[in-house]
Amino acid sequence: MAANPGEDPTTRAEIEQLRDAGDHAELQLRLHKRIQFGTAGLRGRMAAGFSCMNALTVIQASQGLAMYLKNKHGDIASYGVVIGHDARYNSAKFAALAANAFIAQRIPVWFYSEPSVTPTVPFGVTQLHAAAGIMVTASHNPAQDNGCYFKNGAQINSPMDTEIAKSIEENAVPWPNAWKDPQPGEYLRAQAYDNLLLHYNTAVWQYATYTVREWKQPQPFVYTPLHGVGGLVFPGLCRSVGIKDFTVVPEQEHPDPDFPTVAFPNPEEAGALDLAMKTADREGKNLIVAHDPDADRFAAAEKVDGSWFIFTGNHLGVLLASHLFDSLETIDSDTRIAVLNSAVSTSMLEKMAVAKGMHYEEALTGFKWMGNIARKLEELGYYVPFAFEEALGYMFPEVCYDKDGISAAMVFLLAEAKWKAQGLTPYMKLQQLFKEHGHHETLNTYLRSPDADISMSLFRAIREGPFGAGKSFGSFKILRWRDLTEFYDSGTKDHKPTLPADKSSQMLTLWLDRGVRFTIRASGTEPKVKVYIESSGSSRDQAVAAVHDTFLTVLKEWVRPFASPMTWNEQQTTSSGHVFKVD
């Protein structure tokens, strides 16, 4: 049943303006299809209409989750939900509207009244033994976007997400008081954040110091929260434990929902750290630490031979893993240790874990998989210190079962101080790891797709083409072919993947000679087809050449014949900074 959007005069006026202008195409886009509930929540442009993020769609999603908890998990619903929000436009409003839905069902709400960093929500769910958590944020998306993420300590996974989506459809009409500000009462705990933040900061520091025998001061650094909420937490945490020799980029220090100094507030994007570099150059500092706007992702850069080297998520992942592995050498030899990363992240973690006699596990992309897998491994008796994905996400289960940029930054700084005492910088430590495990070069890029049908036609044509294990792929030979959509893997005894299949997504992984593995998949949240290429070799030049040749083969064999309406980025950059252009 459709709901009446008239309760919100802003969005109602927006729809009426489109109607009066006769813009039927835009009305169709806004009203015909509901915003998709996926990847543990909602994310999209803030605008009027059922396909966008607005007060109505937030109310509907929250009512659906509230009824799902009440009907399917009534035994734990009374434990309450944790609701936090970042500093984007409408985030506080959306969080308050979400709270109303749970209060209406007499489910207690641990409400974060102040703008909060995303990791404090899964941390709060675990600390308070809450039934669920909601974070209102669009993470690193542009200023016009927002989102609403649901968690159960880890992010919600299948089939729970499908069941919640059904419940949202069944509870689309706003309940009484849905549009009003939540009122103080038995079911609203409005002062939860200050207490939880204190406990969170303590947990982060205790975990970071646990990884070193005796912590030392890191080298002076520059910090940027990229106009996000990390600036409300991380500098204060550093100063409280005695780390004081750092500078916060003044233009980006305070939360600003317009993100005025960056084209795209994602530390992975070119130019995002430019102001931090200028600040560091001015002050003579050689290290940069950064968070994305909701502080669940962590980035770093180091000045090497006069130029700035920006670490990739894979670089930082193996650096943190190496540091943690060193700290585990004193652990009881009977303790079984497990680490994991996503299927599109570097294979170097597996090599490092095997060399240490640890269990390694591969996961599908996203922390909804890694958080829940970590919990299952713990139930089997493993100690799980760490997981990561290449998109600057790092998880430390002892703090929370989701990506956590605050913890990652603190662990990194104490690791950097340890390496400094050994005469190493993070970059030098990375090169040392490459010598030990092979030089790993990566290229992560994407095709812009006009629509989902064209993306589907690309994957259909690939599957119907003369490809597969044992076949040629340009100058390469295909050693292994895995198709998680069709649930096929030529590299296993029964030809079934060890990872779960997902008919609703598109994901192929190929292993080639010359140490190459690459994955092509359709994005679940953006009109893109993503490509992840990795090669490991005895030298940087060898690995770069293999990545370069793989990319050109993908372009020649698949993209040009099958996907001509799609467009690549104009310029491709490998993980070590090697640049080449698409002809």
**Residues assigned a catalytic role:** 139
For residue 536, the cross-strand partners are 440
Nearest to 382 by CA among 324, 330, 331, 339: 339
Q: How far is CA 530 from the centre of its chain?
A: 15
Amino acid at 338: A
CB 136 within 8 A of CB 151: no
Nearest to 152 by CA among 141, 168, 163: 163
Q: Output the CA–CA distances (angstroms, integers) from residue 192 to 200, 232, 235, 351, in the order listed.
A: 12, 16, 21, 43
Tokens of 420: 């400094």
SS3 content of the chain, % helix, strand, coil (to 5): 40, 25, 40
Q: How many residues does the chain have?
A: 583
Beta-sheet strands, E only, within 112-226 = 132-136, 145-152, 154-155, 188-189, 221-224
Query: Which residue pairs, CB below 8 angstroms and at least 24 apart, start in 282-285?
Result: 283/220, 283/222, 283/247, 285/219, 285/220, 285/221, 285/222, 285/247
CB 463 within 8 A of CB 472: no
Cβ atoms within 10 Å, residue 453: 8
CA geometry: angle at 530 spanning 528 and 533, to 5°? Answer: 165
Nearest to 196 by CA among 399, 375, 386: 399
Contacts of 472 (CB under 8 A, 6+ apart): 478
Contacts of 395 (CB under 8 A, 6+ apart): 367, 370, 371, 374, 386, 387, 388, 401, 402, 403, 404
Taking the C-alpha atoms of residue 405 and residue 414, their distance in angstroms, rounded to an integer, is 14
Taking the C-alpha atoms of residue 541 and residue 325, their distance in angstroms, rounded to an integer, is 28
Taking the C-alpha atoms of residue 349 and residue 388, their distance in angstroms, rounded to an integer, is 9
